[in-house]
Amino acid sequence: MSAPKLTLQQALDDAPLSLFHYKAMITAGIGFFTDAYDLFVIGTAITLIKEQWHLSPVQVGFLGSSTLIATFAGAFIFGHLADKLGRKAVYGLEALIMAISAFASALAPNFLSLVILRIILGFGIGGDYPVSGVIMSEYSNKANRGRMVSLVFSMQALGLIIGPVVALTLLASGINHELAWRIMLGIGALPALAIIYFRRQLPESPRFLASVKGKANLAAEHMHKLSGGVIQASTVTQRKVKHTFRAFITKRQNLRYLLGTAGAWFLLDYAYYGNTISTPLVLKTVAPSSALIQSTAWSLIIFAIAAAPGYVASFSFIDKIGHRKLQWIGFVVMGICFSLIGLIPGLIHSVLPFLLLYGLSYFFTEFGPNVTTFVIPTEIFAVNGRTTGHGISAGIGKIGAFIGVFAFPLLTANLGLAGTLLLSAGFSFAGALLTFILPEPARRSLEETYEENALDRASKPAYLTTK
């Protein structure tokens, strides 16, 4: 008796995890290691660059946020192209941009050239968000999709730890400060270089091939390889479905989802990037007499015992708790922590209580919205607009990050650390409210999550049979 036929989407949703999935996860995740490494070291590097180049507060804020300026353009352009041309067609190019610009940043002769190079770096980082996230989502089954996409993003945890380790090593070695910050920035090129080849070798997303390009047979062949031969395809045909930005942006359901994904990401990144890149400034405010190497060590402790476990908890429980519910929980606890720091008199000058609450906020940021704002946009848009939707969401999120990083030092100077964190608390609670706009995608197929999916009506399914 022959095995029952399954649509391509059903076969992907039910396929067991294989070695291929984990290889794809690591290949995609290294880009986020690079992003997080750069996120930390620029905060320490700026402290050294400021002394050398005698930067003004405005220049310091601009240098810290310049990478984020171009992330919107990178996320939007790469996201649109990946829906138009294919995920594989552009995958690896963003890593090449990151590698070249990170290495060139280490050789920058002056402030202007460093800012320009970091803008180029931001373009590559922005491009990495939609392509890496969506390609992993489209490879994954519905039971483990949240975990696999979270694992991609959770590679940030290694970057947040390796960054201060590198900074501490260089500072403790006593080498010239100018050489130290150049080495910090240059090292960021190495992981990006390492993954360019592997990204170019990944197969195209079977969902994209079948539903957008009409190449169901080729998609089935990829599925056969992806599953290690467990799933075999029959010969089928399928219509091509075009992607146009105008059609995507004028659909009411997409606009509603974008309000939830892009809005929540904007609010999260304002608080997260502002606090993280300004961590040396924050700790200097709490303990004014501490040296740079001491505040860097505290940063490492916060990331190691609070942020990294938050990532682990996220990919361990996201599919059990629910993606939307986890995002809401994280935003609420972030808001509570920031509120307590801002409202309790004298807390910002008490190192241990401050670090406890600040660390708790980091745990729930990683456990919740820092991961889920990346995961949910990979799941709730239709396949022919999925990277576009994710790219818009990531890009608008990074506008929030730019504002947070640029404004944090200025707000701290005028409102104090307590007032600045109270503002972050307001952003966190607003993010919790926007989360209710979104559907719950956990343990549901990608096609089921996007209601009224025109692709389901416009195309014939590709059938696969299992052994």
Could you tell me if 11 and 141 are in contact, meaning their C-beta atoms sit under 8 angstroms apart? no
Q: Is-contact 166 46, C-beta < 8 A?
A: no
CB 57 within 8 A of CB 161: no
DSSP state of 230: S
State residue 285's pLDDT score.
Answer: 65
Distances from the Cα of 88 to the Cα of 136, 146, 204, 222, 398, angstroms: 12, 22, 5, 13, 24
The pLDDT score that the predictor gives to residue 274 is 74
**Per-residue model confidence (pLDDT) at position 20:** 87
Count of all residues that appear for the chain in the document: 467
By the 8 A CB rule, do 460 and 7 touch?
no
Q: Which of 290, 270, 272 is nearest to 280 (CA)?
A: 290
Count of C-beta atoms within a 10 Å radius of residue 8: 25
The C-alpha atoms of residue 250 and residue 282 are separated, in whole angstroms, by: 43
User: What pLDDT, on a 0 to 100 scale, did the predictor assign at position 281?
Assistant: 64
Non-local (6+) Cβ contacts of 281 within 8 A are: 43, 408, 409, 412
Structural Rg of the chain based on CA atoms: 22
Residue 92's closest CA among 37, 36, 30, 183? Answer: 30
Inter-residue contact 9 to 120 (CB < 8 Å): no
| CA-closest candidate to residue 393, choices 326, 438, 442, 343 | 438
CA–CA gap between residue 33 and residue 28 (Å, rounded): 10
One-letter-per-residue 3-state SS of 405-458: HHHHHHHHHHHHHHHHHHHHHHHHHHHHHHHHHCCCCCCCCHHHHCCCCHHHHH
Q: Can you say whether residue 256 is alpha, beta or left, with left for phi > 0 and alpha for psi between -120 and 50 degrees? A: alpha
Q: Mention every residue, 6+ apart, whose C-beta is less than 8 A from residue 369.
A: 264, 268, 327, 330, 331, 334, 431, 435
Q: Residue 429 sits in a domain of what CATH number?
A: 1.20.1250.20
Is residue 467 within 8 A of residue 2, CB to CB? The reply is no
Predicted local distance difference test score (pLDDT) of residue 126 = 94
What is the CB neighbour count within 10 angstroms for residue 197?
Answer: 11
Identify the pLDDT of residue 454. 42
Q: What is the mean pLDDT of each run of 10 residues along the chain (467 residues)?
A: 64 85 93 84 87 88 83 94 94 94 96 95 95 95 96 91 87 90 94 90 88 79 69 54 84 94 96 72 66 74 86 96 97 95 85 85 94 97 95 95 83 84 94 96 88 43 37
Residue span of the structural domain in which 23 resides: 5-466
Structural domains of the chain, count: 1
Q: CA-CA distance, 369 to 200, in Å (whole number)? A: 30
**Alpha-carbon gap, residue 83 to 377, rounded angstroms:** 14
3-state secondary structure of 466: strand
